[in-house]
Structure 1
Amino acid sequence: MSLDTQIQTLIENAPRDGSTPQAIEAIAPVLKALAEQLRHREYYILQTPDGNWLTTTLSNRANPDLEKSVVYGFPSLEDARASRPQTTERELIAAPLPVTHLLFQMLAFDRVDSLIFFEIPGNRETGTEVKREDLQRAVRLQLQSYLQQKKSNIPPNLA
C-alpha cells in the first residue's frame, strides 16, 4: 500500500469528531517524510490478541539506570516469529501494520519511547530508531506551521 493510500486510510478511519481527520491531514507530511526514510511500507509488530504491542525495556550499558521502552518493527513475518520471546506466558501474534499507522499510533503511546525498525530480513542486529520525542517535536512544528498558514489564508474581513 502506498504511503499516500496509508495516509488516506488513516484520515478515513479517524473519529468524525470535527478535528481528528484535519489533524491527520495536517501532520501527514511528517508521517510521510519519516516513512520515506524506511525501506518497507509495512512492518510486523508482535502484539497480544487484543492489540497491545509487545514492548521491550532496554538498559544503557554504561548507565544501567537509564532505560527506555521500545517496540520492534520487523520486515517479515519470519523475522517477527523468530524474535518472539520464549519466556512469555502471553500469546503473541505478529501483525502487519502500515508504517504510517505505526508512526501515528506511537504519538499516543506514552509508555513507548521508540520504534526500532529492522530493515533487512534476517538481520536483527541493526535497526532504524524513531524516537517518540522526535516524532512529537516534528508533529508539533508541522501543526504550528499548518495553523499559521491557515491563519494567513483567512480573508482580512473575517479575521
Structure 2
Amino acid sequence: MDLDTQIQLLIDNAPQDGVTPQLIAAIAPVLSKITHKLSHHHYYIHQNPQQSWVVTILSKHTNSVAQKRVIYAFGDLKYISPSYLVGLDDHVIAIPMPVVDVLFQLVALNSVDSIVFIESPYTESRSVEIRRAELHKQIENQLKKLPPTVNIPDDIV
C-alpha cells in the first residue's frame, strides 16, 4: 500500500467527530515528509500478547543514568538480528504495520523517546531514528498554520 493511500486510510478511519479527520489531514504533510526518508512502506514491530509494542531501554556505558526508550521497527523480518531476540518472551510476535500508522502512534506514546527504523539486515548503522519530541514539534508547527476557526483540542498541542 503506497504512502498516500496509508494517509487517506488514517483520515478515513479517524473518529468522525468533526475535528479529528481535519487534524490528521492537516498533519499529513509532516507524516509524508518523514516517510519519504524511510525505505519501506511497512515495518515489523514486536508486540506482546496484550498487543503492546516491545520497548527497549538503551543506556550509555559511560552514563547508565542517561537512558532512552525506543521501539525498533524492522523493514523486513530478515533484518531482525538474533541478538535482538535474546530475552524476548516467546509469545512476542512481529506484526507488519503501515509506516504512516507507526509514525502516527508515536505521537501518543509518551513513554517512548523514539522509533528506530532498521533499513537493512543486522545493523543499526543503516537505520533512521525518529524522535517523538521532534515529531511532536513538527506536528505542533503544522497545526499552528490552521485557521483560528479550527478548534484544536488542548491534548493535541
Within the alignment, does 1:106 sit opposite 2:106 as a pair?
yes
Where 2:71 maps in the other structure, the secondary structure is strand
Which has the greater radius of gyration?
Answer: 1
TM-score between the two structures when normalised by the length of structure 1: 0.86
Hey, what's the Cα distance between the residues in 2 that align with 1:97 and 1:83? 22
Native 8 Å contact 1:46 1:84 kept in 2: no
Where 2:135 maps in the other structure, the secondary structure is helix
Native 8 Å contact 1:71 1:112 kept in 2: yes
Cα deviation, residue 16, structure 1: 1.4
Correspondence for 1:91? 91
Native 8 Å contact 1:48 1:90 kept in 2: no
Matches for 1:8-157 after TM superposition, within 5 Å: 8-80=8-80, 82=82, 85-89=85-89, 91-120=91-120, 122-126=121-125, 127-147=127-147
Cα deviation, residue 98, structure 1: 0.8
| Partner AA of 1:125 in structure 2 | E
Where 1:71 maps in the other structure, the secondary structure is strand
Hey, what's the Cα distance between the residues in 2 that align with 1:83 and 1:92? 15
Cα deviation, residue 83, structure 1: 5.5
CA 82–9 in structure 1, closer or farther in 2 if over 3 Å, else same:
farther
Gaps of 5+ in 1: 152-159
Q: Which of the two has greater helix per residue?
A: 1
| Partner AA of 1:40 in structure 2 | H
Hey, what's the Cα distance between the residues in 2 that align with 1:84 and 1:95? 16
CA RMSD across the alignment: 1.8
Native 8 Å contact 2:47 2:53 kept in 1: yes
Q: How many residues align?
A: 149
Map Cα deviations across residues 115-158 of structure 1 (whole Å, 9 max, x no partner).
000111x232321100000000000000001236x78xxxxxxx
Hey, what's the Cα distance between the residues in 2 that align with 1:56 and 1:27? 28
CA 66–7 in structure 1, closer or farther in 2 if over 3 Å, else same:
same
Native 8 Å contact 1:55 1:112 kept in 2: yes
CA 11–83 in structure 1, closer or farther in 2 if over 3 Å, else same:
farther
- Deviating above 3 A after TM superposition, structure 1's stretches of 4 or more consecutive aligned residues are 80-84
Cα deviation, residue 80, structure 1: 3.8
TM-score between the two structures when normalised by the length of structure 2: 0.87
